[in-house]
Every structure is written in C-alpha cells, then in structure tokens.
A = this chain, B = another copy of it.
Amino acid sequence: MGDIGLPTATAQSVVSSSTAIQPPAKNKLFLGTFIHSKTLAKLEFLHNAAVAVNKLGTIVAVSPDTDFAKAQNSLLPQLKWASDDTEITAAKPGQFFFPGFIDTHLHASQYPNVGLFGNSTLLDWLNTYTFPLEASLSDIPKAQKVYSRVIRKTLSHGTTTAAYYATIDVPATNLLADLCLSLGQRALIGRVCMDQLGPTYYLDESPAESITKTKECIQHVLAKDPKMELITPIITPRFAPACSAPLMKELGQLARETDLPVQTHISENKNEIALVASLFPDAGKSYAEVYDTFGLLTDKTILAHAVHLTEKEADLVKKRKSKVSHCPCSNSAITSGAARVRWLLDKGIEVGLGTDMSGGYSPSVLEAARHAVLVSRHICMDEGSSEERDKLSVEEVLHLATRGGAKVVGMEDKIGGWEVGKEWDAQLVGLHEVDSEDDGDEEGNVDVFGWESWEEKVAKWVYNGDDRNTKKVWVRGRLVHERR
C-alpha cells in the first residue's frame, strides 16, 4: 500500500486490543469429523480425521484416518509437537467441524433495529428506521453496547468473518474495529461515506470531509493491525444515491491508490434504480455503469443485493471481477425482490451470503443460507414452470456461506475450508440426538433420530439449526465463542 498521506490515528480506543492479534499460546489438534465444501455442489466428509493448527492459527496438517492414539504416536512426533505444548479438542460422536461462516454484508450499526421495518420498502425504511439509529451511534457508550452485542451475537452463530458497515462517525467506526480485534472476529470495517440523500444531521459535509474521515479510519486499523491479519479497512460508499459524483470519483481514486476493498449496494429495489438513473444522467446508462464510471467496480468490490441487474450489468460486473453479496432474508423482508443467484453463478460471478442486518432480520448466516434455498424456489415458482436449475441445494448454499464468501471478501487463500496453509476459522457443530438423556431444550431444533445419513444430518442443520448447534467458534486458532 503506497504512502497516501494518511493522518495519524487520533481516536481513542475504549478497549484494549493488544492481545487480540497475538497467536494462541499452544499448538492445537482437532479430532473428529470435518465437513467442508469441496465444489459448489459437493460437500466433503472427513471422518475420524485430525487437523493440526500451529501457534499462528494456521493449518499445518490435515490427516485422514487419525484417531487419538495415532495422533499421539504418529502425527505429533511428525510435527515435532510436544504433547504438553498441544491442546487437543475432540468432537463428540455426531458433532462435526465446519468452516466458520462469512457474512459478506451487514450493518453493525443497525443491529438494534432487526425485525423493525413494518411494511416499508428501501427508501422509506432508510428515513424512518435507519438514519436516526445510525446517527445516534456517535454516542460512544451506545456504540459500544450495540457493537459489542452484534459481534458477540454473530460469533455465537458461527460468523468468523464479517464485512461491516459502521456509520459516518470516525470514533465509533474505530471502536467497531477495536472491538473486533478484542473479541477476535475477523472483519472488514467500513466507515460509511454519504454526502447526499441522508437527513441534514447525518451527512458528510463534503467529499473532502468524507475522504479525510475515511482515511482516518483506515489509518486507525493499520495502526492496530498493520498486516491486516484480522481487520481490513474497506472503502464504503453507502450506495450511489447517497454519494455525489465528486465523492464517488475520489473514493474510486482512493481504492486504486490503496488497493483496499470496496463495498456498496447495487440494484436492490426498483425505486432505487430509478433514483440512480435520475441522479446520474451523465455517468452511465445503468446502476453498474455509474459505479464503473467512478472506478468503484474493482476486483475487490463487494456489491450487496444485485437483485435487478440487467444482463449487460451482470456482464460488466463479471468483467470487472466484482463480487456479489446475496442477502435473501433482507430482500424478502423489505420486499426488494428475488436475486437470481444461479444466473449470477452461471456467468462466473462470485457470490457469498449476507445477513444484511437490519434490512435482514436475522444475525445468522445459516438462516441466510436457508433463505437462499427458499428464495431460489420462489424464483422457480415465479417463472410458472419447474425451472429446476434455478434451485439451490443445501450443499450449494453452504458453499456460498464459506468458500463463496471467502472469495467475495478476497480471502479465499486464507479461509473457507480445510487445507494446509489456511487459517483455523472454524465452528464445532452439534446436533441433538433424540435418544440422549436430556430433553434437548438447550440443544435447539435439530432432532437426529439415528437413522440419518451424514448428508441428511447436514440438511437438518441447514433447515432447523441455530446458534444452539454452534458449540465452539475459533478465528485464527483462537477460541472466540463457547456455549455454556
């Protein structure tokens, strides 16, 4: 990243993050069943396997057919790891390790509003529910409360990486980054840029101010996590209607200079599309072209929604190698539309899943996956015939939730599956067995009767699973959530 004259960070952090990016103290060995996405359509099941994770949180061995004894007698000596310097975590029978989920689009600042939208659609929802709440988070104690809660909540649902929108406020945005460092969640942190559309009390005063404040937030993250090992700053034009042409031009310039990722919204709602056309009559013929005109369609750009893209726009997105965050709960809840994921995938566009809180109501990527299945069925039904091909399977939505998301956030070399060299961002999943002693109250709504195949167990998890099934969560080898 070149010298772009970033100012020194001045915002005071409320929490200490000194230990957050430190590696874990011991080597770690995980034993049991490991499931991950092999291809879009296929899961791989590794039973009775071992995964070794070094002190940096990196996977150094994936060893099939390795039980406790074999791990002790063969794998540890091979790795030159002493027993007393290695922490062993064995999945119980029926439990499995799954890659941590990647939430490619959510607004940390809107978390208190989940479930509140009445019958509104995008543009009135922003004014009624969203802008007042976001503006109120310049109150740092309130931001601390909200951001702590959203991080803990999403971690408890197995979200190991989150692409966050914060607010326009610099100290509160920096606080979100600090809290992610402290609580151990991998994150992309975006200060929201908007110099129009919002209410007067919630706007950047000028493009210049917007850029300056954005650089302050970038600098803050780089001061805390210089190698962006856990936190990555992300350039965040809210969406075209909220950004003037000069602002978008400068943000495109900043993206080019810094090589940082970009996130924004595209083509969520038909009224929004009409608004973009009216606001930027000279910038291009379509919503995608508007972003492209200003250099914001990069190969590191995350475009949320993409519900109503035209064929030509999708081709442009593909050409620029920009990515799409599919947010099915949000799109249904605020009546935006049904994004044609199969069509995007067929074009070769990378797609991940987003909860889009609080347009979406659920903190869970698993619920987003479930709804990706359901929305794909609505697309079949809308077409009036059985367009079987549009249907997304359980395997496919789990791919989007992990490998797909990893590509969308530009970390496919780091996270999303069980390969040597990747980092240990993982969740331990347990499903309730009806035969077991307890009555299962605290184990959630997945009931395993004993005759199910592993594929069926995974399907049951996707349809009825919740945070009760996510027993433990790790990021970079660090245990960041554990159910009591």
Contacts and interface: CB of A to CB of B under 8 A. Distances in A.
Interface of A: 111-112, 114-116, 118-119, 121, 145-146, 149, 152-153, 156, 332-333, 335-338, 361-364, 373-374, 377-378, 380-382, 386, 388, 391, 393-394, 434, 439, 441-442, 445-447, 449, 451-452, 456, 459-464, 466-467, 483-484
B460 A445 contact: no
Given A333-B374, A466-B466, A391 B119 contact: yes
Contacts of A394: 118
Contacts of A391: 119, 335
B335 A114 contact: no
A442 B442 CA distance: 7
Copies of this chain in the oligomer: 2
Nearest to A112: B449
B386 A335 contact: yes
Contacts of A378: 332, 338, 378, 382
Given A381-B338, A391-B335, A434-B145, A112 B439 contact: no
A464 B377 contact: no
Kindly name the residue among A336, A452, A463 whose own CB sees the greatest number of chain B CB atoms within 10 A.
A463
6 contacts: A115-B461, A332-B374, A333-B373, A336-B381, A338-B378, A362-B445
A388 B447 contact: no
Nearest to A129: B456
Nearest to A361: B463
B377 A335 contact: yes
Nearest to A156: B441
A290 B116 CA distance: 44
A445 B145 CA distance: 16
A362 B464 contact: yes
B114 A463 contact: yes
Contact of A119 (B388, B442, B467): B388
B112 A445 contact: no
Nearest to A371: B374
A272 to B, nearest CB: 13
Contacts of A332: 374, 377-378
B464 A115 contact: yes
Contacts of A377: 332-333, 335
Nearest to A442: B442
Contacts of A112: 447, 449, 451
